[in-house]
Amino acid sequence: MNAFLHRFGSLVMGVLTGLDRLIFRGKLCPLYAPEGMNIYLDANKVLRKDFDQHTKEVTKKILQASLIEEAKAMKRFEYLGSTKIDKDKVARGFAKKHGVTQGLVCVLQCVEPCWSYTLESVAHRLTVQGKQRKCSQLYHYYIDPRFGWMYVRLQTWFPFEMQIYLNGREWLARTMDQQGLKYRRSDNKILWVEDWPGAQKLLDAQLQTNWPSVLDAYQPLVHPLHPTFLGKLSNLRYNWTVHQSEWATDVAFATIFGTALVTSSSVANGASTVAACAGRG
């Protein structure tokens, strides 16, 4: 990149380098250990033969508490019958239709693959085993005052994994708005900024974020029954890791018409650790 900028520097209006797409995952790590779910059942005196009924009752309570009824009352809830449906497009349709500029946009529900548990007989003894399954997921889309467009996903079956998506360029645009810094934007690209070094400082500041505290703040919004629903294991807290991340560089070129052409390159990274988490059993 440095060699490229050195060669074409006279044509470059500005450069922005920083976070782009970010996806975090939150897990209740002890429940992913080999005997995690069995320990939960023993601690709460749930018989193995009652496992299916118990988990269904907990899931029902989670669904009732997770803003579904509020979203339905505002006509901002939709059940999606296929994983092929573009959730982002559906959510943006809700935002446009209802004129949402801040706060909850909608809640989308769909069945997707997940890691959960099943009751099995091992050596003539009932036990709970972790395995790949399918379950209902809730996507809460928000327009956040700080981060802008984002979503929080909640798995509605044990172990209730969470996922949070946000975008560094969307975040940058929000910050520039708050500071009165003029700019032009096309989708996820910044075409022009009145102060390129100033915008870069704002991107750099994102790297100083205390992510666990930021991400923990969204858990009560979509999963308010946590941690009390865990009974004797109510001391468990979500452990956050980076599931996907992109680091992007945008280069804006001057044209004879005074506008800018932007080229963007990005490097995607996956599964970087925010805090250590036990492996799956």
- For the chain, give every domain's residue range: 2-273
**H or E element, residue 185:** strand 183-186
- Confidence check: pLDDT of 219 > 90: yes
The residue that leads in pLDDT, 111 or 252, is 111
Query: Binning pLDDT at 50, 70 and 90, where does residue 276 land?
Result: very low
Structure confidence at residue 278 as a pLDDT band (50, 70, 90): very low
The residue among 269, 209, 272, 203 whose CA lies nearest residue 240 is 272
For β-strands 77-79 and 103-122, DSSP reports them as parallel
Percent of the chain with pLDDT over 70: 87
- Average pLDDT over the chain, rounded to whole? 89
**pLDDT tens digits along 16-69:** 999 999 999 999 999 998 789 999 999 999 999 999 999 999 999 999 999 898
pTM of the model: 0.89
Helix, strand or coil, per DSSP, at residue 10: helix
pLDDT of amino acid 269: 63
The pLDDT value given to residue 281 = 32
Query: What is the reported pLDDT for 258?
Result: 53
What percent of the chain is predicted at pLDDT more than 90? 74
**pLDDT reading at 104 higher than 70:** yes
Greater pLDDT, 23 or 249: 23
Q: In whole angstroms, give the CA distance from residue 153 to residue 137.
A: 7
Burial class (CB in 10 A: 0-12, 13-18, 19+), 31: buried
What is the pLDDT confidence band of residue 218, given thresholds at 50, 70 and 90?
A: very high
> In this structure, what are the phi and psi dihedrals at residue 134, rounded to the nearest 5 degrees?
-125, 145
pLDDT of res. 271? 46
In what order do the strands lie in the sheet containing 12-27? 77-79, 103-122, 125-144, 148-155, 162-167, 12-27, 239-254, 260-273
Q: Is pLDDT of 261 > 70? A: no
Give the amino acid at 186: S
Q: What is the tens place of the pLDDT at every residue in 191-209?
A: 899 999 999 999 999 999 9
Please, what is the angle between helix 168-179 and helix 196-205, to 10°?
120
Confidence at residue 272, expressed as pLDDT on a 0 to 100 scale: 47
Mean local confidence (pLDDT), 122-149? 93
